[in-house]
Amino acid sequence: MRFTIDRVGIEYTVDGSRTGIPVIFIHGFPFSKEMWKPQVDALGREYYIVTYDIRGHGASDVGDGQYSLEFFVDDLIALLDHLKISRAVAIGLSMGGYIALRAIERHPDRFRGLVLCDTKSEADNNEGKIRRATQMKTVKTESIQQFAECFLKNVFYEKTFTTNPIAVELIRKTIEASQPIAIAGTLLALAARTDTTASLYTIKVPTLILVGQHDAIAPPSAAHSMKDKIPNATLHTIAHAAHMSNLENSEEFNKHLLQFLKSLKG
Ligand code: MLT
């Protein structure tokens, strides 16, 4: 299904039951809603499940390729409005977590729970901004395949390449299908995002934090730092996983996710 905001078409899918607790999955960069398949399957019919492609990603429109994390938050809220969902559980991985954290800072009344996966509240430091510039150069002047190759090595645990090649190929194909202008635009948006650390203390909803044991992009130390600041947070480390913990160890990831969602039912 598709809806339009500011002349940009956003592709989304709804699964499960409309009478269940609404949960909205927000993917990482530069992936698509397809990355959530093991979670959508695990949640079954008990929840009202929404997955969508962030602008510039998957089957959503690229638009002019000039993005801000603020636009990504606007799109998320517009999608909730479009679906007439007043309060959802937001589940965000990495960039999806940055979006969820900024969304709850701007619109605290629209969320009833938060799941922060392989993400962090800190903005990019100088080194991070410079790394984004190098990545932008690679997609603009070399090839998306080259960008994908480097990216895969950073996001997957080395053993996953042999234990779960299907997950690696899914992400490779998703990246390779992306438009360079969208990747470059998102890199700029990521480099310019705000730091949400100060707002962690004000999060009132139950929060689950999941992090791959070997995640080097949003490491366990960043996850623990968020847990120390969010008043009602629990944290689990996912074994045998790096940055793509939901794909690399779906079983353990889903166990904690389902437990958390069940606890929200009261
Ligand atoms: C992601 O997985 O969303 C990205 O790796 C996040 C980032 O580069 O900061």
Listing DSSP states for 234-263 in one string gives EEEEETT-SS-HHHHTHHHHHHHHHHHHHH
Position 228, amino acid = D
Helices of type H across the chain: 37-43, 69-82, 95-106, 126-141, 144-155, 160-163, 165-176, 180-191, 220-229, 245-248, 250-264
Question: What element of type H or E holds 93?
Answer: strand 88-93
How many CA atoms within 13 Å lie on the side-chain side of 76?
A: 32
Q: How remote is the CA of residue 243 from the centroid of ligand 1, in Å?
A: 9
Task: Decide whether any atom of ligand 1 lies within 6 Å of the 151 Cβ.
Answer: no
Determine contact, residues 223/208, Cβ cutoff 8 Å.
no
Q: Which residue CA neighbors atom 5 of ligand 1 most closely?
A: 29
pLDDT in tens, 137-167: 999 998 899 999 999 999 999 999 999 999 9
Q: Residue 266: its pLDDT value, please?
A: 62
Q: Residue 167: its pLDDT value, please?
A: 97
What DSSP string describes 153-195?
A: HHHS-TTHHHH-HHHHHHHHHHHHTS-HHHHHHHHHHHHTPPP
Q: How remote is the CA of residue 168 from the centroid of ligand 1, in Å?
A: 16
Residue 198 has what DSSP assignment?
G
**What is the β-pairing status of strands 207-212 and 111-117?**
parallel
* Distance in angstroms (rounded) separating the CA atoms of residues 254 and 223: 18
| pTM for this prediction | 0.98
Determine contact, residues 68/192, Cβ cutoff 8 Å.
yes
Task: Decide whether any atom of ligand 1 lies within 6 Å of the 160 Cβ.
Answer: no
Q: Which of 95, 130, 195, 243 to mutate to test the pocket of ligand 1 (most atoms within 8 A of CB)?
A: 95
Q: How remote is the CA of residue 131 from the centroid of ligand 1, in Å?
A: 12
* Distance in angstroms (rounded) separating the CA atoms of residues 218 and 93: 10
Task: Decide whether any atom of ligand 1 lies within 6 Å of the 246 Cβ.
Answer: no
Task: Decide whether any atom of ligand 1 lies within 6 Å of the 217 Cβ.
Answer: yes
**Residue 109, Cβ density class (10 Å: 0-12 exposed, 13-18 middle, ≥19 buried):** exposed
Q: Residue 108: its pLDDT value, please?
A: 98
Q: How far is CA 195 from CA 27, 69, 99, 199, in A?
A: 19, 11, 11, 9
pLDDT in tens, 45-86: 899 999 999 999 999 999 999 999 999 999 999 999 999 999
Atom of ligand 1 nearest to the CA of 27: 3
Atom of ligand 1 nearest to the CA of 190: 9
How many CA atoms within 13 Å lie on the side-chain side of 55?
A: 28
Q: Tens-digit pLDDT profile for the chain (266 aa)?
A: 999 999 999 999 999 999 999 999 999 999 999 999 999 999 988 999 999 999 999 999 999 999 999 999 999 999 999 999 999 999 999 999 999 999 999 999 999 999 999 999 999 999 999 999 999 999 999 889 999 999 999 999 999 999 999 999 999 999 999 999 999 999 999 999 999 999 999 999 999 999 999 999 999 999 999 999 999 999 999 999 999 999 999 999 999 999 999 999 86
